[in-house]
Structure formats: structure tokens, C-alpha cells
Amino acid sequence: MANVISGILGVRGYDLATRRANVVTPANFSIGGLMGHSQRKYAKAIPVSSPTEFQTIFGGYFSSAAYAPDVVEDFFNNLAGTNGQLYFASYVGNNAGTIDAVVASLTLLDTRVSPASCLTLQAGYNGSGAPAGGLLQYGADGNKTGITVVTGNRFSTTVATSGVAVTGKTGDTTLGSNQIANVTGASSTWAGMLIAGTGIPSGTVILSGSGTTLVISQAATASGTGVSLTITQITFACASVADIEVGDAVTISWSGGSASSGGYLVASVNGPANTFTVSGSGLAAGNYVVAADAIVVPGFQLHTWRIDSKGVVQEVDTDLGSQWCTYYSGVSHYVGTVFARSNYLVVSVVADAPTNPVQAQPAAIATVTYLAGGADGTTANTAASWAATLALFDNLPVRFLANCETSAAVVQVAGETYCYNRWDSPAWLYLFSANQSLAQLQVTGQGYQRGGKVSGIAGTSTWGYKSDPYNPSPVAPYRAVPSVGAVMGLAVRVINKYGIHYTYGLANEPIVGWQDVYGYQALADTDRTTLARAGVNTIQNLSGSGIVLRNSLTPSTTVDYLFSNALMMTNYIKVSCQGSLQATENYPLTYAKLQADRSAIDTFMRLLWSRGSNGNVPEGETFGQTITQTANGAQSASTYEQSVSVEANLANNPQSSLSAGSEQVWVYFMRPAPAQSIRIGVGIQLAA
């Protein structure tokens, strides 16, 4: 019996599987969120990458009372070449959260003598950002979408090989047998034809025939003598089957027997042999095709039309309108598949099963016929009515959020409250009403001020002046638009270029896309100081600098949270750590895990210390190096250890918490204050 030595004697090296340390990956903080009024409305926040894509999805300029198209354009203009993404959510009419806006729709009828419904068309969108099945478009704008239907043949071919007529045949069946005996004149030319009769299972076809015997595809279920046999043609040899697919409805015109035509569904296609087989019953007994008889695949084109802002009717989605569609699913030309790329329609098939399957397709419509019934629903006039729009951002990684349509205090406060209650606390950009005086701005700003942590960035004293898209005259006055889109885009630009620790009031990073500012600029430093103390940020048009955001304050009166970078740095660190360590959830909560998580966060913080969030920041700047002084009076910048603390020990992880499965890692950091008040003292020094 062998002893307990199990390994091979001697010293050997071998490879271990890779073991990865926990790593904190920086979160993307270039994502904004805007809500407002748009021409086309959906119950979903959709990502857009440019003003052009916004207009494709949500429509363009449609009402001078709506600011969403302006503000979205401002966001992208102020990225100024840096990367950024925007989610937009349109207000959909609702009553206390229940949508009461209505989707415009139209039902198309088939081609039977007594027509039945075959397609339902609803206003909607199927492009980028839409889920499978499309997004329904709510509101009266859907009534501006119309359609025409053109009918015709998607594919045409001819019979290549004539069929045969088989009538008046009888035979003897035997239970369990695949042969039928005593059939007069059984012929191999019957192969592939459908056969029916007592004791013959449905769908049985003839495999071969000779003399008085037929071989069939299914065994008989009963014995019989002199059984009457019905033999019909279901397989057709054609000049081409290039565009015939399984599931297609085809029209077959035959000239053998009782000359006529009928519609059938294709069950199988043999491309190399140029044959296809129809399902169910084929040609009636005694009828057959003759070479050169016509076989066509009927189809229809669904053309989409829109009434534009000037009342002009134009065709849209022309690439889809040029395609021949079929009613039946499973075919590449299926109307539901073709229009799954439509920017204006959500198409669904109504169950329709006429005896002639060709008649299931819609009838021709020559004159533009419009969807109807779309209605906007309850107007957005309360915080409760906007709450449903806020909720559309619930699971989206937006870092900034704003409502560009109303400065109503209850709506703005509800927006910040929503952000505050989210675990990732996106920054709410407040919108103040336009053209207020110094005194009015003080009252407005102070109305939002409070002590402690906040999740908002204060509103601005001015709006922006832009060329008016509703008045193309070269002497038309400028249009005033809210500042939230420009400020949001500017914030993303500054984060990308300078780092998460910067506030956004930089003289060398002006607002782009405005011709001027509208409202009180507070050009005197004393007035700007007054507004800053009241929680109002100032935008000024400065000679040599352009239009500049002069400060970036929050509504907080507590110095810890006074500047916007305190909010954004906290969120950045929190979101990065939470997202990266999510994978370790439910691992055994050991001391080793606790220290591994702490180490991952500490490494992340040290990288921020050494090079910032964008990799180009001078060492220590991210955490605002302070001046330290030793006992002998020597001064130096603070170190990482003096600026950052990552704690995971018994102090915040008592054994009782660990035993309950609760782990805590605390991160404290110093944030840099922006140099917003610079005083330069100059004096004369006299010789001794």
C-alpha cells in the first residue's frame, strides 16, 4: 500500500491564475439631464448626442414659449469640443402622475370585400435610444403625421414546369402503412402533391408513384378500400425564387383546369431547385399550373408624411417608404421589421386571417390620411405635474439636472429635493426668472439659501440673448433664453479640461453661442458681491473676455458646501467608489476584504492627488493644498496625508456591525476654494 506522499519530489515552479486587486474606476461626469417642452413627447428620457439628433427625436423649434430646443443647443455649444452626453425628457401631460395625454393613431383596413382591420399605426419613434417595439409619441403633434399606401408586386416570376391534373382517383389504405395500393395510373409526376382522404393524416404529400402504388409521407391512420383520393398541387417550379421567402403570401395564376387565381402562404423554398411549396391546401383538384403562368408576391409601400412648422406637407423616412412590405411576420420584408427604424410611426399588425392570405395586406390609400386623436393632456403648471418627468431620470447616470421651462419656486425646489434624495445626488441647476433687478435677485436667491449640505447650483442673474429662430429678419431682436443649458455645458467642459475640483467661473472659458446677456449683469464688484452673498451667480458680457460666468456658488450658507466643486467632488468620489466596489458585494466580510476596499479607494484618491480627474492636474491641486508651517517657521504645501483620509477600522466598523454584514469606509478630503476675492496690497518701503 502506498504511503501519503502525493506530490512529485523536487522543487518546481508553476503558474497561478491571475488575482486582481480591487480597483476604483473614475465615473463619467460628463453627463447632463434636461427636461422641458418639446414638439414630440415621450414617456422616457432619451440620450442625444447633438442638437441635430435632438431635433430628429423630439422635433425642432415649434413654440416661442418653449425653450428646450434653445437650451439643448446651448449645452452642446458650450461643450466646445469636449466630450459630453445629454439625456432629455419631454413633459407629457399628466394628472397627478397618471398620463392623460393621448397618442395619435390610425387603423388600416385590408382588401377583402368586407374589409377588416389589418394594421395599427401610432405616432412614435424607433431610432437611437428607443426600446425594442418603439416609443409612443404623446400629444397633438402626432396628428401632423400622415400616410399613403401604394400596393403592387414585390416580386414576380413565372412557372417553369407545368403541373398535372389528377382527378377521380381511389385507392386502398392500410393502417400504419405509408403505401396506398390499387391506385389507377399512379405516376412519379405526382410526387410533391398533397393527398387527402379517409385515414390519411392532414398535410400528407406523395413521395413517389408507380403503377398502382403511391408512397406517402405519413402512415395511414385507418384501413379502407376504394378510398376517394383528393390530390392537389402544392409545389411549384419557377423561373426564379430569388425573393420568395417562407411566410410570404403569393398569388398563383394557373391556366390548367378551371383557369383562375388564388392566394397562398409559402411553407418552404428550395433556392437551388427554384421551387417553393405552399401550406394548407394547394390548387383545387383538377387544376394545375402551366409553364409561363404568373406567380407574384404582392406587397405594399407605406409612405410617411409630416406637416412642418410652416404648414407644408413633406414625405419623411423616404428610405422606408420605398421598400415593399408584407403583412406577415417572419419575412425580412415584414412591415413591423421595416418600420422598426421609423422616426415617426410605431406599426403593429392586427390579427387578420382571410381565406385568401393575400387580402390581409392594407388597401391602397392615394391621399395623405392623418393619424388622429392625439391630445396634449394636462398642462405643466405644478410641481406635481413635473414630478412624472423627474422620475424618468431615476435610473440614469446624470450628473447635472435642470428644468428649462419654469422658474416657479415650487418646481425648482422639487427638482433639487429629487436630486438630494438620490444616492448619487446630481447637481440641480436652478433657473431664476429673467430680467430681475438687483433687489429682486436678492430676494430670489435668498429664498433658496439655507445651511448645510445641498444638491443644487444657484441660478444666474441673467439669461442669454440669441438669434431668434422664429423671426428670420436680419433686424429682428434677439431672443432671450434660460442659462441652464449653457451653464451645464460649460460645467462639463471645465471638468473635462481642468478637473472635477474646478468651479465654472473662468475668464478664459466663456459661454459660447450667445450674442449678449439679458438681465442685470452686476458689473460693479460691490453689486456682484451682494448677489453672491444672496446665493445668485452672475453672468457678465466683459470686453476682451466675452460672456463669462463669474462665480459658481450653491444655495448653501455653510462654508463647507458654499462652492459647486464641493458638491461635484463629493459626488464624483462617491459614485466612482460605489460603482467600482459593487462587484464585491456579498463577499465574506473579513478584515482582508475591509482593507482591500480601503486600499482600492486610497489608491484612487492618491491618483486624484497626483494628477487629478483628467490626468493633467498638478500634484496636490485637486485637494487644494494648504500652507503648513513647522515649529521652526518653515512653510510648505500640505501633503496627501494632511489633505485626504480613508478610514476603515474598528472606529467605524465595530464587530457588531461586521457581524451584521455592514461595512463602512469613510473618505474625507479637502476641497480647494476658488480664488474669487483677490486683494493686492501695495505700500512704500522706506530705507532704514
**Three state DSSP letters for 500-539:** CCCCCCCCCCCCCCCCEEEECCCCCHHHHHHHHHCCCECE
Among the three residues 308, 339, 370, which one is the final residue of a domain in this structure?
A: 370
Q: Are residues 89 and 144 in the same domain?
A: no
What's the confidence (pLDDT) of residue 278?
93
Q: Are residues 510 and 544 in the same domain?
A: yes
Rg (CA), the chain: 37
What's the confidence (pLDDT) of residue 12?
67
Q: Which amino acid is at 107?
A: T
3-state secondary structure 352-415: CCCCCHHHHCECCEEEEEECECCECCCCCCCHHHHHHHHHCCCCCCCCEEEECCCCCHHHHHHH
Is residue 659 assigned to a domain? yes
Q: Are residues 143 and 207 in the same domain?
A: no
Distances in Å between the alpha carbon of 141 and those of 106, 212, 370, 377, 470? Answer: 14, 71, 11, 12, 18
Q: Are residues 402 and 510 in the same domain?
A: yes
Q: Are residues 454 and 601 in the same domain?
A: no
Is residue 56 assigned to a domain? yes
Is residue 251 assigned to a domain? no
What's the confidence (pLDDT) of residue 286?
86
What's the confidence (pLDDT) of residue 17?
61
- Can you state the angle between helices 564-581 and 484-498, rounded to 10 degrees? 70
What's the confidence (pLDDT) of residue 536?
97
Is residue 335 assigned to a domain? yes
The position carrying cell 440620450 is 47
Q: Are residues 451 and 523 in the same domain?
A: yes
What's the confidence (pLDDT) of residue 117?
95
Is residue 135 assigned to a domain? yes
Domains contained in the chain, number: 4
Q: Are residues 442 and 520 in the same domain?
A: yes
Q: Which of 629, 599, 625 is nearest to 610 (CA)?
A: 625
Distances in Å between the alpha carbon of 46 and those of 57, 389, 398, 520, 642? Answer: 9, 12, 12, 35, 43
Rounded Cα–Cα distance for residues 420 and 453 (Å): 9
Is residue 252 assigned to a domain? no
Q: Are residues 529 and 423 in the same domain?
A: yes
Is residue 533 assigned to a domain? yes
What's the confidence (pLDDT) of residue 16?
61
Q: Are residues 365 and 442 in the same domain?
A: no
Among the three residues 181, 205, 232, which one is the final residue of a domain in this structure?
A: 232
Q: Are residues 463 and 493 in the same domain?
A: yes
What's the confidence (pLDDT) of residue 1?
53
**Which parts of the chain have pLDDT scores under 70?**
1-8, 10, 12, 16-21, 677-678
Q: Are residues 144 and 172 in the same domain?
A: no
Q: Are residues 122 and 89 in the same domain?
A: no
Rounded Cα–Cα distance for residues 564 and 537 (Å): 11
Q: What CATH number should be reported for the domain holding residue 485?
A: 3.40.50.11780
Q: Which amino acid is at 366?
A: A
Grid cell for residue 142: 402626432
Domain that holds residue 354: 102-154+299-370
Is residue 523 assigned to a domain? yes
Contacts for 654 with CB less than 8 Å, ≥ 6 apart: none
What's the confidence (pLDDT) of residue 237?
95
Among the three residues 201, 232, 263, which one is the final residue of a domain in this structure?
A: 232
Within 174-223, strands assigned E span: 179-181, 194-196, 206-210, 213-216
